[in-house]
Amino acid sequence: MNIPAIGVGTFRLKGQTVIDSVTQALELGYRAIDTAQIYGNEADIGQAIKASGLSPDALFITSKVWVDSMAPGKLQASLRESADKLGVDRLDLALIHWPAPNGPVRLEDSVEALADAQAQGLTRLIGVSNFNIADTTRALSVVGPAGLATNQIELSPYVQSPRLVRFLQSQNVHVTSYMTLAYGQVMQDAVLQGIAARRGATVAQVALAWAMQQGFSVIPSSTRAANLQSNLAASELALDDADMAAIVRLNRQARLATPPDIASAWDD
């Protein structure tokens, strides 16, 4: 099973807002949905999925285990609860949301519990999120070289994390990019605006295409049908080598998501 190149993200969306967003996304043709336990919207997403009439087997649903459920036993139970809220028999992909290096549970124990959840049939694939090179290495030591489906990381034209990306690719760990649009900051970028004008595209499409053209998956969110449709069309946009090189030069490792206590030190 491959992770879809593009899915709809649901971070910061709750209640009717997330129901409407996911409903619109599914109507437009999205088939991958990304959520997390800490988002507090799994039940709302489950409602949208049920109302869509689509079989869960036609979808690719990802959720992430929050740091207070990383202990063996508790982790597996939390994924059963996530699946129940989402109205599915099992998840397609379950991730450890943050490594929480200062937490009470050893990372290896959490990864082992995640692998056990997979063995129990609670999720088809397992992976991690926000893991640096050292964290990923420790996780791989538990599940083996083919054990992690992805590492979901903040990745945008402004946060390209080349060392981490090269390492993940060398280990055949798929890269999933979140915050690819840098909370909308890319929209004001002159370089991206220039590429968009030359390509007859939107700036958002350029940023998303830049990520997908490198083989990364993207999970942009929106509450507007027009933006959801435009983002989905980014997979059809082709950037040339000069475009890609110009975007590479925008990297400044300006992270927007590094919460204290649950994040490890980054490699770049």
Q: Which of 30, 39, 158, 178 is catalytic?
A: 39
Instruction: Give every CB contact of residue 135 below 8 A, 6+ residues apart in sequence.
Output: 99, 101, 107, 128, 264
* Whether residue 178 lies in the annotated active site: no
Nearest to 59 by CA among 26, 84, 17: 26
Q: Per the annotation, does 97 bind a ligand?
A: yes
Strands 174-178 and 217-218, by their bridges, are parallel
Alpha carbon distance, N-terminus to C-terminus of the chain: 31
Annotated binding site for substrate: 97
User: What amino acid positions are annotated as catalytic residues?
Assistant: 39
Annotated binding site: 97
